[in-house]
Amino acid sequence: MRSGADDFGGKRWSVLSEVFEVLITLAESWTAQRKSDPGHRLDLMRWEALRGSDPTLIPLETLPGRNPMTGEEVTVEVSHSAIWAHPKGYMARFIWRDGELEASSVDDLTVEKARQIAQKLNARIHVDVD
């Protein structure tokens, strides 16, 4: 659990006392054998249509990163992902991986946005609290 304030994109915001991890998927559970079962995957065309029609979702294709071995700055491909323009002024990322959407370190409003996305994709949302 964390508390206090973090700097996010030059903006200060309060950090939740609990950190949520969110998964939007067709899988029955977070721990299901998702990688071996292609039936868990969301429909990419439906997600792309939703991402393109929702003005609060900003397409995201790459993220800046750093190679942990060399320290070199790199660009990480995150095709089909999106940034959500959070009402409190920071950006929450929905990262597309293996036919699912993941978001980390999110608050209650982002969990609610994930629920809305899941409903529109006829999917499930799984929330894990650290």
Residue 66 CA to its chain's centroid (Å): 20
pLDDT over 70 (residue 11): no
Query: How much is the pLDDT for 72?
Result: 95
For residues 25-42, give the mean pLDDT: 73
Query: Helix, strand, or coil here: 74?
Result: strand
Task: Flag whether 11 is in a domain.
Answer: no
Nearest to 42 by CA among 86, 93, 1, 98: 98
Q: Total structural domains in the chain?
A: 1
Task: Flag whether 13 is in a domain.
Answer: no
Task: Flag whether 47 is in a domain.
Answer: yes
Task: Flag whether 1 is in a domain.
Answer: no
Task: Flag whether 7 is in a domain.
Answer: no
In terms of pTM, does the model score above 0.85?
A: no
Structure confidence by residue, pLDDT tens digits, 93-108 = 999 998 999 998 788 8
Q: Is 94 in contact with 82 (CB distance < 8 Å)?
A: yes
Task: Flag whether 6 is in a domain.
Answer: no
Task: Flag whether 3 is in a domain.
Answer: no
Range(s) of the domain holding residue 38: 18-129
Q: Is 11 in contact with 90 (CB distance < 8 Å)?
A: yes
